[in-house]
Amino acid sequence: MKKKLIAGNWKMNGGVAANAALLEQLSAGMPANPCWVAVCAPAVYLQQVATITHGGAIAVGAQDVSAHDAGAYTGEMSAGMLRDLGIRYAIVGHSERRQYHGETDAVVALKAQKALSCGVTPIVCVGETLEEREAGKTEEVVKRQLAAVIHTNGHCISEIVVAYEPVWAIGTGKTATPEQAQEVHAVLRAQLAAATPHADRVHILYGGSMNAANAQQLLGQKDIDGGLVGGASLKAADFLTIIAAASAA
C-alpha cells in the first residue's frame, strides 16, 4: 500500500514568526516513519518555508499557479518560479479560487498542465456545492471537473494528486461521512482507471473539515489516500495528530 499524503492548506494565514514557530513544532513532533507531508503556504512565504524545511520531512506547496509561462500577468506566479524555489506541489482549482476568482475547469486543467511541465505536482481540487449534492449531481460535477484535467494532461495524469473537497464541508465544521467520501473517491478512482493503467498510484485526498478527531476514520477508507487540511493545519498539535493517523494507516 502506498504511503498516505497529508497536505496543509494554510490559505491566507500566517506570518514570518508564526510560520517559523509552527514549522519548528511540526518538525519536533513528526513521527519516526511519517507519511508524506506538505504545507501549502501563501506565495509570499514560500521561500521562507522552503528554507526552513529544506532537507526535512515536510515538503512545500503553493496554493495556486499561473496558467501562463511568463510575461505580463501581474500578480501571477509561474510553475517555473515554483520549481526555482524547490516547491513540490501546487494546489489548483481550490473551490475558493473557483468561486472568488472565476476559475473554470479549463483554466484549472491548464494550471495543472503548467505545473506538471515544470515537475511540480498539482493537487487538483474537485467537489460539489451543497445545492449540487442535494440535486443528486455530485458524481456529475466531480467527474466533469476531473475530466477537464484528464483531457488536457493525457498520459501524465498518473502524476497528479486529486483532492475531493465537498464545498459544503470546507471550513464549515461539516465533514462528509467516511462512507460519503469513499463513495466519491471510488468514482474518481474509476475515472482515473479509465484514463491510465496507473490509477492506483494517484493519491486521492479528502478535504473538508478534516480534523484530529475524524482523520483516522476517514483515512481508513479504501480509496482515501490522505487529506488536504485547512483550519486544522494551522494548529501543530491537531496537524500532528492527523499526520500520526495517516502514518499508521
Interacting residues toward ligand PEP by CB under 6 A: 9, 11, 165, 170-171, 207-210, 228-232
Q: Is 159 a catalytic residue?
A: no
Q: Which long-range contacts (CB under 8 A, 24 or more apart) does 139-148 make?
A: 139/184, 139/187, 142/184, 142/187, 142/188, 143/187, 143/188, 143/191, 144/105, 145/93, 145/105, 145/108, 146/188, 146/191, 146/192, 147/105, 147/191, 148/105, 148/106, 148/108, 148/109
Rounded-to-integer distance, Cα 204 and Cα 75, Å: 30
- Minimum distance between the CB of residue 139 and ligand PEP, rounded to whole angstroms? 20
- Minimum distance between the CB of residue 227 and ligand PEP, rounded to whole angstroms? 8
Set 94, 103, 128, 185: catalytic member = 94
Nearer to ligand PEP, 11 or 185 (CB): 11
Number of neighbours of residue 216 by Cβ within 10 angstroms? 16
Nearer to ligand PEP, 167 or 195 (CB): 167
Set 132, 165, 185, 203: catalytic member = 165
Q: Which helix H or strand E contains 88, and what residues bound it?
A: none
Nearer to ligand PEP, 61 or 230 (CB): 230
Nearer to ligand PEP, 14 or 231 (CB): 231
Q: Is 94 a catalytic residue?
A: yes
Residue nearest to ligand PEP (CB): 230
List active site positions. Answer: 94, 165
